[in-house]
Amino acid sequence: ITPNNMVIMDVKISDDSPDYANARGESVPINTKSAETTMMVASGDTVIIGGIYKENKGVSETGQPWLKDIPIIGWLFKNKTWNNTKRELLIFLTPTVLPAG
């Protein structure tokens, strides 16, 4: 804390998630994304830390059982949906200096 009630913070944030696509047997690897910064903030002010993104892609297929599996004409009886989701992790920090006493 500085003499004029500014707060100096060293901040490290991380987002850990299981990586099922690369799992081997019972062992599931962990993906870690992190960001690190040093900031000086006035007491009561809010800062936002961002920059950690997570993207999920997937395909789902629905359709009439048996009919969707027929070669050449099966596409008439099924529907494919491509999903693409992108998210950002935001951290809000508000330091507060309490008076002595």
pLDDT tens track for 39-84: 999 999 999 988 788 888 888 889 888 888 888 888 899 998 999 9
Say if residues 12 and 39 touch (Cβ distance below 8 Å). Answer: no
Model confidence at 11, in pLDDT bands (50, 70, 90)? very high
The reply to whether 83 falls in a domain is yes
In a domain, 59, yes or no: yes
Could you tell me if residue 31 is inside a domain?
yes
Its domain, for residue 73, covers: 6-93
Q: Which pair of structure tokens corresponds to residue 91?
A: 């951290």
In-domain check, residue 57 = yes
Residue 100 domain-assigned?
no
Q: What rounded mean pLDDT belongs to the chain?
A: 88
Cα-Cα-Cα-Cα dihedral sign, residues 64, 59, 27, 15: negative
Structurally, how many domains does the chain consist of? 1
